[in-house]
Structure 1
């Protein structure tokens, strides 16, 4: 789009492989994913215009008493913190999205069910948060005294005549749009796509909007102001200007956040937002001063090259140039870091430690970033500020990095989307390596020990030997350890097959871990009680001691990595 006119609109490929339905920008309904968040921020600015909302007011003012129960800091959270994704909430992947519409609850219930812990002080760390956005939408519900989807329908979709867009999480009242909804796919191997589930959300303001590409272009047009004209979304010209202006940046030399949109350093300043669901991915990019926009909607999970690579070519990007002045040594930046956007109180946290964000000096003023097997090179353009020179498209949303360094150590790496932090105390690289070795030893023991018990039982039966009570409890201890490992393996497989799960789906397995551990502790207590009264051979004492040690180690590892809740 240029100067408020669509200059190119085209569908490629299939919206339904099985039935050979072609993509049609004016007709095919797609999941917009997190582009949906822009409706929340537009609604919030509409509330500001009406003096119903103060972006700097404590959000507790607008919420029911004791609505948030897991806050850790006295500092207030404001709407601006929610917009900037620096309210301090940890990531919680459970109960966000479902494969079935019948799992959807009200927005209020969804927020209460999926409430995360606050793990950072408000304003200090950017950690992209679906919960924050949905909480902002709930505040708008409280102000307007109507469901958020009804507010958006009346105050955004209808005024813009967006008839092919639905924000209701289950399409209620507009089921006819389902007839034109594309099927979503996951690329399983080159040229081979597997159909995936549609995405339903109780916290739908974060990513539940469905619509056509051409409807999204109408919305984009309303966010590109014409000189001297007021956007149809607002009553004041300055409201749109405020929405698109910078609201947070970690460094004056890097792009930041514009009230919920990400700033983009191209040939001209851009603001952008992408979206991903189980099987759809998208990108909306605005260049306000050029009255230019690019919209890409795909029915492929995790697509990056078109969404970001093509968009970058269209909006233009400048080549980073190292500054002439003396710049800090890149050697002090080397290390492993974790995304601030991660769970802290769940076994899912282990996943992030297995894929650290690694910084490696390459040469003077140049570093290499390695993350999840992808790499990119960055050039230092001003003190502790780096711009991407080349690399995988996965890094396109974070083309600029700002390092906060104190006493020669990196304290924080900031990007406009999410910050990265040093490995926490107690989980540094040497300690993590030690945990890995201990875990491997533990797993091997509880895989081999049951086989030895079976062989021993067969021999005892052949020789007609009776098992002692302490040996029976030892066998129970081994079985509990092995059963726990099997339970965890099944849990991991289930999570890898589909991360969009309700906590209720995994809770039985979490409880099983606790059950097996309680039985194991009782077994160890009984063995300790019987030990002095039993005439044990040296080999038995060694075997029992090893099993007890391995069980204690297993329980300790489960506690450390959150496998009990």
Structure 2
């Protein structure tokens, strides 16, 4: 009992205090974080902050901070493997998520510096002629468009990530398999694009003559001494890293987590890197060399300066993007990138003016309390300014849908289920609602709002800006993407009518089998004089109703599958689309047979029999119409 108790105490201490802390000698008593936290008290501050979440809302986290080119804090919290009680430590390997994109943009800038690539050149000049066959507009798509996420690509939802390494194909094959349509004119709308980033990495492959992950290893990881990282999603290729890779988890309820899968990608450059937080710290430091020193990533000092300069923003006060780095409204100018995979969440932010960086990696899907909450505490937020004559917040209220969305196929329904809703909340404040989350945003400049409260998950959107035109909202910019007004054919009244019709059709076809069963039992108990004369028609009505039930069941299963795991190959859902065709075809045949039987001169159908067939015919027409409207056949 005593031994078991000591093990329990030791496990709790590991959970709360994490792994060994590493400080830069002679630096712990000097300086402060950008938000003003003294470095001497930094560890205590972080310990106190994370103890509210670790083990309760967050499985594990690796936190590294650097100042003036040296690590000032490196510590693990919680568990890398809950089942085996293995704590997070400095050598714990986690998935970078979209922080991986920064390695792509760094590679692009290296090649641009060497004159091998022009950021303003149409990327089709670098690609084989059979690439990008789904472009809608004639305007060139440039590398700068890819860096600014405004090339106009839709969000193609399939074949982005897999749950086993066997499914991974080459980068080129992945790009060809998941090619998106272009639904916006280049440069007009920001719609965060994983495909665009991986396409840029493929161009790096073509220009350099090396597989992208080999290029990164040679030109980024090795020069920076990043020995514990790999620019690839299949860590099994590096057994020494695989041994230290954390398991990923999903939050279930307070103190309860379930294991998720690792992330495997053919288009791995946009989110497939794996490595330690300390390696990411080396990467971050390369963008903040000391005065008079040269970044090991570039040959000329002005290259780094140009890369970190703003390349796009919707408004002067709104954070924009700096050649792939997203700006953050910290106390000082802050740049970085967050990341999410199937079961990991990460964040990297650098403050070049202060030569400070914070890296947070967690082995939990969608974690925000530490990933975004702690980041905000460390880098701070710029002070709210009092501005007079601000426009009324009611000007920007309404419902908006993400520009980052599928343009075709049944998944185009998804953005309509997660609309952003804005409504006034007191003087100069907006309430932002999205997917069950709410946040309060204070207007700090005309049409520019800063988050002041609400769910921590919305900390990923510290500010939003309403772009106005002719007194109407043209777009709501929220950091990494735009939200747009609902299109003319899918306004709220249209959506409400669709929802009502869907509820009626689904309810009818779920209930109808039970009604038919009851009717069959009752008819067996009593002899009906109409049992023979209308038998054929009633069988057709029964078949039609059951076919409708089959269509509803097929699409409910499809919806549940996508909600439980949207990281699927298109080949996984294609059979269900075929089933839609088959069942709808059967329904058409049954309806035709009913109509023929009605018009036949030898028909013995009663008025009652005909009336009984009208409702299922109407409901099947409604159901098929909805499936056509939302493209559940493609």
Q: 1:277 Cα deviation (Å)? A: 0.7
Flag structure 2 segments of 5+ consecutive residues without an equivalent.
Answer: 1-65
TM-score by length of 2: 0.87
The structure having more radius of gyration, on CA atoms, is 2
| Deviates most, 253-262 or 382-391 | 382-391
- Equivalences for residues 177-326 of structure 1 within 5 A: 177-324=241-388, 326=389
Structure 1 residue corresponding to 2:428, chosen from 344, 349, 365: 365
1:146 and 1:306 mapped to 2: Cα distance? Answer: 37
User: Partner residue of 2:185?
Assistant: 121
User: Partner residue of 1:511?
Assistant: 578
- Equivalences for residues 409-488 of structure 1 within 5 A: 409-461=472-524, 463=527, 465-466=531-532, 468-488=535-555
1:132 and 1:172 mapped to 2: Cα distance? Answer: 26
Deviation string 1:183-239 (CA, Å, 9 cap, x unpaired) is 111111100111111110000001000001111111111111321221101101111
2:547 and 2:317 mapped to 1: Cα distance? Answer: 56
| Deviates most, 67-76 or 470-479 | 470-479
Does residue 525 of structure 1 match 2:592? Answer: yes
User: Partner residue of 1:80?
Assistant: 144
1:222 to 1:442, Cα distance in 2 relative to 1, 3 A: same
| Deviates most, 100-109 or 248-257 | 248-257
Structure 1 residue corresponding to 2:569, chosen from 476, 479, 502: 502
- Equivalences for residues 347-358 of structure 1 within 5 A: 347-358=410-421
Q: 1:172 Cα deviation (Å)? A: 5.8
What SS is found at the alignment partner of 1:155?
Answer: helix
1:119 and 1:383 mapped to 2: Cα distance? Answer: 30
- Equivalences for residues 19-30 of structure 1 within 5 A: 19-25=84-90, 27-30=91-94
Q: 1:173 Cα deviation (Å)? A: 4.2
Contact 1:256–1:415, Cα closer than 8 Å, also in 2: no
1:494 and 1:448 mapped to 2: Cα distance? Answer: 23
User: Partner residue of 2:225?
Assistant: 161
User: Partner residue of 1:109?
Assistant: 173
Q: 1:282 Cα deviation (Å)? A: 0.5
Does residue 330 of structure 1 match 2:399? Answer: no
Contact 1:320–1:389, Cα closer than 8 Å, also in 2: no
2:201 and 2:443 mapped to 1: Cα distance? Answer: 39
User: Partner residue of 2:101?
Assistant: 37
| Deviates most, 16-25 or 378-387 | 378-387
User: Partner residue of 1:394?
Assistant: 457
Deviation string 1:95-132 (CA, Å, 9 cap, x unpaired) is 11111000000001101111111111111111111111
1:431 and 1:537 mapped to 2: Cα distance? Answer: 38
Contact 1:249–1:416, Cα closer than 8 Å, also in 2: no
Q: 1:160 Cα deviation (Å)? A: 1.2
What SS is found at the alignment partner of 1:558?
Answer: helix
Does residue 46 of structure 1 match 2:113? Answer: no
1:162 and 1:134 mapped to 2: Cα distance? Answer: 22
Count of matched residue pairs:
563
Q: 1:177 Cα deviation (Å)? A: 1.3
| Deviates most, 470-479 or 86-95 | 470-479
Structure 1 residue corresponding to 2:405, chosen from 342, 359, 380: 342
What SS is found at the alignment partner of 2:119?
Answer: coil
What SS is found at the alignment partner of 2:465?
Answer: strand
Q: 1:461 Cα deviation (Å)? A: 4.7
Deviation string 1:18-66 (CA, Å, 9 cap, x unpaired) is 11111111x1111111100000000000010111111111111011102
| Deviates most, 454-463 or 212-221 | 454-463
Deviation string 1:460-480 (CA, Å, 9 cap, x unpaired) is 455383454333322221111
Q: 1:459 Cα deviation (Å)? A: 4.3
TM-score by length of 1: 0.97
2:383 and 2:606 mapped to 1: Cα distance? Answer: 74
Structure 2 residue corresponding to 1:545, chosen from 601, 607, 614: 614
Does residue 9 of structure 1 match 2:74? Answer: yes
| Deviates most, 492-501 or 79-88 | 492-501
1:48 and 1:509 mapped to 2: Cα distance? Answer: 46
Contact 1:75–1:122, Cα closer than 8 Å, also in 2: yes
Q: 1:16 Cα deviation (Å)? A: 0.8
| Deviates most, 546-555 or 522-531 | 522-531
1:296 and 1:73 mapped to 2: Cα distance? Answer: 40
| Deviates most, 393-402 or 509-518 | 393-402
Does residue 557 of structure 1 match 2:626? Answer: yes
Contact 2:331–2:383, Cα closer than 8 Å, also in 1: no
What SS is found at the alignment partner of 2:76?
Answer: coil
What SS is found at the alignment partner of 1:159?
Answer: helix
2:232 and 2:383 mapped to 1: Cα distance? Answer: 42
Flag structure 1 segments of 5+ consecutive residues without an equivalent.
Answer: none
Q: 1:146 Cα deviation (Å)? A: 1.7
